[in-house]
Structure 1
């Protein structure tokens, strides 16, 4: 239970900071918040070394989540503002997860890992000092962007529901794989398959219709989660993981491309997407733990498929808009 609360603290902090600083970056510019976020990330990683109790660890993880929330939305907005694409940028996130996992396998000592993480974050901060922000007009954004949410609630709700089911599954994912015979090596191989797939697929998604990619990712997620429930041997998961990478790449890149192409509030829309993801990360573990303990892993997989299906139904009526917004719309 304490682990759940610690994870929830990080998720809630990420949710709040991603939304708040994404909005602020639309109003005041990106670079100051990018540098602030990277510097705070380096510091917050180090605070975990001194966490001597569950409460202290909760505070430390909350500070990590808060700092990462600043980075996630503002850097995404900065990238789209300068390159008009997000697929390749997001793929580097999957690459980072892969390198981080491999580093943890080699190093294993928590203190050393926290120090390495802090050094990498500080190096990113130093690199950010070389970046230049384009002179663009800033805008006024509502403190809570109800209009943006209402305009594209099909995206936000559909994404949240799919991620809720996914996060519930990932909570017990290693235990589920062990129950069907997977060893630690096989579990790691399945994770690598997913990450490598995302690195490849995310770079390809942006050339397609974003609305169709988003809905395709939802539909494929339903099929994948059902397939998890039907699997009774660990080796059956490997090909499913390839399709999982395709589904998530299509879902995430499709959703972000759709939103960023049609709203000039790049930071706020990125923050809303990240907040929806973080909220699913807070609620999903409790859902996954409760269902798996009561009805078993297979039932959880079908429940995950059901939430993804609800997300697909919520996205009905989603259409590509004919008059996309640009930075020129800023006042």
Structure 2
């Protein structure tokens, strides 16, 4: 239960802090490309951190990594309110991104070692996103949003103090950059990575898209709450299904969802597309995570690399979304999201025909 509460708090904090960053950047006179660069700085720091600490999760005391991650996140999320131009915002977002990459693999190992459902634990991630979106939409003041986000990380640190001490994972010495893990699991990482490039391009500019469709900050928060709110209920019921089926279905539903977001004329028409995205990401995340944990001895590193692929995709996706927005507009970004999801599906089909186990 305590781990679920931590999962809820940290993801609420991440989402409420991130939702209005594109609008905040725009108010600081950032161009579309600069908004993309700000997102890429966050993604690059998150990528480096998740890779470093997913390796550490198999070799160092888990609680130590959780302490470091939650304390540093509490500090870096608070100081985001002091951004005064696009450059300072990019730097502060990079610090926040590095902080939140420290702990995800450790939390997954806790759940696995306790023999609990990965799907049910993962479901508290989107529930946190939903709560964070709602809180951000209701508060709608940047300084208050960043303060509450910081306090949620501080509360997670205090809860972690009550968790039992556990040993590190495999205690195996491995190469820091594990080419073997990447080669063995490329058929999971690469399609997921491609889909996330498109998704990050969409999510970077989506608050601006909704604002252009006459949504105020309250309604942006409400609309954003729908997708992760549904994910909470969907993820809890997916452990029984074949992992590869979930991955295939997730890619196809992603493409359909992004296409559904193209012809919008007012913000509430986004609801069907966001419902499809809820199913697609739930299928992809649970299917991919379960497949990696089931088939790899270095479970923390294997699952952590999935988070690293998400972070790496956010770098490319953010840059792509910002550039496409500047030259082709909002609907061009939606089409880009659909294209990358279809490419990911094609790669997974190719892997299946090559008889990847």
Structure 1's consecutive aligned runs of 4 or more residues displaced over 6 angstroms after TM superposition are none
Q: Does 2:48 match 1:24? A: no
| Contact 2:131–2:225 under 8 Å retained in 1 | no
Alignment partner of 2:200 out of 163, 167, 170: 167
**Per-residue displacement from partner, 1:94-126 (whole Å, max 9, x unpaired)?**
122222222223333333332222222111111
Paired position in structure 1 for 2:102 = 70
* CA positional deviation for 1:270: 2.2
Write the distance in 2 (CA, Å) between the matches of 1:320 and 1:88: 28
Aligned equivalent of 1:45: 77
Aligned to 1:327: none
Q: Deviations over 1:221-252 (max 9, x none)?
A: 12222222345565443223222101110011
The answer to whether residue 227 in structure 2 is matched with residue 194 in structure 1 is: yes
- With over 3 angstroms needed to count, the CA separation of the structure-2 counterparts of 1:114 and 1:226, relative to structure 1, is closer
Which residue of the other structure, out of 79, 88, 93, is the alignment partner of 1:61? 93
| Distance 1:310-1:245 versus aligned 2 partners, 3 A rule | same
The yes-or-no answer on 1:204 pairing with 2:205 is no
Partner of 2:189: 156
Q: How does 1:209-220 map to 2 (within 5 A)?
A: 209-220=242-253
Figure out how many residues of one structure are paired with residues of the other and give that number. Answer: 321
Q: 2:279 aligns with which of 232, 246, 252?
A: 246
The answer to which of 294-303 and 211-220 deviates more is 294-303
Structure 2 portions without partners, runs of 5+: 1-32
**RMSD of the alignment, in Å?**
2.4
Q: The residue matched to 2:261 in structure 1 has which SS?
A: helix
TM-score by length of 2: 0.81
Q: How much does 1:54 deviate?
A: 4.5
Distance of 1:94 and 1:185 partners within structure 2:
19
The answer for the alignment partner of 1:36 in structure 2 is: 68
CA shift, 1:137, in A, is 4.7
What is the aligned counterpart of 1:274 among 289, 307, 325? 307
Tell me the distance in 2 between the aligned counterparts of 1:11 and 1:293: 20
Judge conservation of contact 1:181–1:234 (CA < 8 Å) in 2: yes
For residues 70-109 of structure 1, what are the structure 2 equivalents within 5 Å?
A: 70-109=102-141
Distance change in 2, residues 1:264/1:277 (3 Å): same
**Deviations 1:175-218, CA, capped at 9 Å, x for gaps:** 43455565656544432221211111111112211111011101
Distance 1:234 1:109 in 2: 21
**What SS does the corresponding residue of 1:205 show, helix, strand or coil?**
coil
Q: Which runs of 5+ in 1 are unaligned?
A: 322-331
Task: Determine if contact 1:164/1:283 at 8 Å carries over to the other structure.
Answer: yes
Alpha-carbon distance between aligned partners in 2 of 1:47 and 1:297, rounded to the nearest angstrom:
30
Summarize the alignment of residues 91-130 of structure 1 with structure 2, pairs less than 5 Å apart: 91-130=123-162
1:20–1:271 CA contact under 8 A, matched in 2: no
SS of the equivalent of 2:175 reads coil
C-alpha deviation, 1:298, in angstroms? 3.3
Are 2:342 and 1:313 equivalent residues in the alignment? no
CA–CA separation in structure 2 for the residues paired with 1:320 and 1:80: 25
Q: Deviations over 1:120-175 (max 9, x none)?
A: 21111111111124446522222101111111111111001111111112223234
